[in-house]
Amino acid sequence: MSRFGDGLRIIPRTAWFFAVTIYLVLATLLFEFAIPTDPELGKWPRWGQFLFVYGLFLLLAGFILLVGYVHADAKRRGMRYVMWTLLALFIPDCIGIILYFILRDPMPKACPGCATLVKSGFTFCPHCGTSLQPTCPHCGRAVDPAWTHCPQCGTPMPLSTAHPASGRVIG
């Protein structure tokens, strides 16, 4: 499945329900009853009215689905999903949704020890204590595999955590 398909799959059913219902009911009501009586739009050809109304409500339905996506995606990333759903919904011009895609946390990773989803950036699994990232043997802080020395205490890294094939030319 593509990432887009994956995104569609996590949108909650409630969001689909609202999007489809609002789209079909409101667009049809408007098209059948309101538009023909409008002094301006009533003069348009019927197919033009159709495109206008159903196109407009397609945007609205898409917006509802996007808010649903933000809700589900923020939840699975362990973020404050209620806050993000409200921001996505109420900041005008979709700015809340755009902000969400810029600021969202990376996806949590499965712990190799107990398979629990753990927030990325953690050094140890909070559930079983498995080491998720190489650490300094002296001070225990997380280190990057490419570093040769700990940035906190200066201890040289053992060869197992250093990256011999990082391709860097020294000197």
Between 37 and 76, how does the x/- string for binding to Zn ion read (CB under 5 A)? ----------------------------------------
CA distance 98 to 10: 18
Q: Tell me the one-letter amino acid at 28.
A: T
Instruction: Report in angstroms how near the CB of residue 124 gets to Zn ion at its nearest.
Output: 8
Compute the residue count for the chain. Answer: 171
128 binds Zn ion (CB under 5 A): yes
Does residue 134 touch Zn ion according to CB under 5 A? no
CB of 115 to Zn ion, least distance (A): 7
Binding part of the chain for Zn ion, among 2-10, 23-31, 112-120, 162-170 by CB under 5 A, reads 112-120
Retrieve residue 135's tokens: 């650490």
In Å, the largest CA–CA distance within the chain is 81
Distance between CA 36 and CA 46 in Å, rounded? 9
* Distance, CA of 127 to CA of 119 (rounded, Å): 12
The answer to whether residue 114 forms part of the interface with Zn ion (CB under 5 A) is yes
Q: Which parts of this chain interact with Zn ion (CB under 5 A)?
A: 111, 113-114, 125, 127-128, 130, 136, 138-139, 150, 152-153, 155
